[in-house]
Chain A
Amino acid sequence: MTEYTDKIKEISKRVLAEGRVEMVIGFRKGSVPMMNQPHLATSAESVDELVWDSNCGLNLANYITDKKGTIGIIAKGCDSRNIVTHVIENKIKRDQLYIIGVPCTGMIDHHKINAMFDSEILTVEESGDQITISGNGFSETKDKQELLQENCTVCTHRNPVEYDELAGNLVEEQKNVDQYASVTKVESLSADEKWNYFEDLLSPCIRCYACRNACPLCYCPTCFVDESRPQWVGKSQDPTDVKTFHLLRAYHCAGRCTDCGACERACPMGIKIREFTKKLNKDCQELYGWEAGLSLDERPPLDTFKTDDPDEFIK
């Protein structure tokens, strides 16, 4: 995907020069390998810092909430769906945005790669489908497909759904992937087993809230975990409190999550946080036939009332 970089720079420079936008939100190289950082480019010189490769897993829609002025934003499939969600939720106006669409072939998982090697990784280079990882005294080339983030392996919306211009040709969407394989597995467990499964899953959590901060959906002025009067969620490391946080966080994303994987990517402990949101996505899909962020004209299911809404759970 590195070939998009030049095109992205070209488009960004043009829209900035034309005065169509005041800044372009994209990525630049981070200070450590596999960690590209968001970059707000406002001039032709700073546009030159923009890059695009397989380490752009963060979700840039996070940076447009409640922004004034015009913004150019580089959007892969999931970013564009989150931008749509933002527009639907009145967090930004569509005409403030100039969306530079990037057809995506998946992002690589830095947790996975770091776990593969004992010593520090110094460079990660990409050419086509091959990723070369090297450090002090070792260098290995691997297929990108093996290194993808888990959400990317089951992604069915690689092409942006909403864009003003594309930085490359549309890619073929993945078909026949079982998006909800992990959820189905958990569903088949008994209540006790489920409990233990999630207990284990969350045991490393340190409540750093990186998942919340990375998530483009989390923009409440005061997050429920920071509320102290009344305080609904305990702030301790107690397993119950940790679980309450994760359940509520996931529930806030119900019908809005696009499975962009930013939460998992941001998690310093490598917790599979998507297990929660995934379940809710599956429910939305099954009950309302809804996938978040696909259209600007449709209201999300938890925002509308229909007489045929499922109500088996009500006595």
Chain B
Amino acid sequence: MPEYEPKILSFLCNWCSYGAADLAGVSRMEYPPNIRIIRIPCTGRMSPKFILAGLRQGADAVWVSG
């Protein structure tokens, strides 16, 4: 049986973590492929309903990063 690969729904701030993810990509760093990124304009855009909607539709976990 293949290893369990969770889907992690990630809300990343355009200016912070999204930039970091971009930089990580440009620098050819390796990281797990389990995250599914949604870019948000700012962490202030975050709302609890996004998290619950994500979990409800089957995400294994939610990660919010600013």
Contacts and interface: CB of A to CB of B under 8 A. Distances in A.
> Do A and B interact directly, with beta carbons closer than 8 Å?
yes
Interface stretch (A129-137, A178-186, A232-240): A232-240
A224 B49 CA distance: 9
A283 B49 CA distance: 20
B49 A248 contact: yes
Interface string A202-242: 00000000000000000000001000000011100000110
Interface in B22-66: 48-50, 52-53, 56
Nearest to B56: A240
A195 interface: no
B10 to A, nearest CB: 13
Interface in A241-270: 241, 244, 247-248, 251
Interface residues of A, number: 10
Contacts of B53: 232-233, 244
A251 B48 CA distance: 8
A160 to B, nearest CB: 32
Interface in A92-118: none
A248 B48 contact: yes
A248 B49 CA distance: 7
Contacts of A247: 48, 52
Contacts of A234: 56
Contacts of A241: 56
A240 B49 CA distance: 13
Contacts of B50: 232
A232 B57 CA distance: 11
Given A232-B52, A233-B53, A244-B49, 8 more contacts: A224-B49, A232-B53, A240-B56, A241-B56, A244-B52, A244-B56, A247-B52, A248-B49
Interface of A: 224, 232-234, 240-241, 244, 247-248, 251
18 contacts: A224-B49, A232-B49, A232-B50, A232-B53, A233-B49, A233-B53, A234-B56, A240-B56, A241-B56, A244-B49, A244-B52, A244-B53, A244-B56, A247-B48, A247-B52, A248-B48, A248-B49, A251-B48
